[in-house]
Amino acid sequence: MTDRICVAQIVGSHGVHGRLRVKSFTAVPEAVFDYNPLTDEAGARSFTLRMTGMGKDHFLVEAVGVKGRDAADALKGVTLFVPRDRLPGLDDEDEFYHADLIGMETVTEGPEGDAAFGTIKAIHDFGAGDVLEMVHVSGKTVFVPFSRAVVPVVNVKAGRVVIDPPVNLFTPARPDPEELAEMGGKLSLDDEPEGEQPEGEETGESR
- Confirm whether 147 is domain-assigned: yes
Do strands 59-63 and 79-83 pair parallel, antiparallel, or not at all (unpaired)?
A: unpaired
How confident is residue 25, by pLDDT bands cut at 50, 70 and 90?
confident
Long-range contacts of 26-33 (CB under 8 A, 24+ apart): 29/59, 32/7, 32/8, 32/59, 32/80
User: What pLDDT is attached to residue 130?
Assistant: 85
Is the confidence at residue 63, as pLDDT, over 60? yes
Q: Does residue 40 lie in a domain region?
A: yes
Instruction: Please state the pTM of the whole predicted model.
Output: 0.59
Rounded mean pLDDT, 53-69: 93
Confidence of residue 173 (pLDDT cuts 50, 70, 90): low
pLDDT at 207 over 50: no
Q: Which position has the higher pLDDT, 172 or 153?
A: 153
| pLDDT number for residue 151 | 94
- CATH (domain of 148): 2.30.30.240
Q: How many domains, the chain?
A: 2
152 within a domain of the structure (yes/no): yes
Structural domain including 143 reads: 100-162
What do you get for the CA distance between the two ends of the chain, in Å?
61
How is residue 28 annotated by DSSP? S
Q: What is the mean pLDDT of residues 17-23?
A: 94
Are residues 24 and 79 both part of a single domain? yes
Q: What are the tens digits of pLDDT across the range 94-106?
A: 778 777 888 899 9
- Residue-level pLDDT at 197: 47
pLDDT at residue number 206: 39
**Is there a domain that residue 148 lies in?**
yes
Q: Interior CA angle at 46 toward 43 and 51, to 5°?
A: 135
Whether residue 203 is contained in a domain is answered as no
**What is the Cα–Cα distance from 170 to 10, expressed in whole angstroms?**
32
Decide which of 25, 51, 84 is a domain's last residue: 84
CATH of the domain at 52: 2.40.30.60
The predicted structure's pLDDT at residue 40: 94
The verdict on residue 156 lying in a domain is yes
Distance CA 97, CA 93 (A): 11
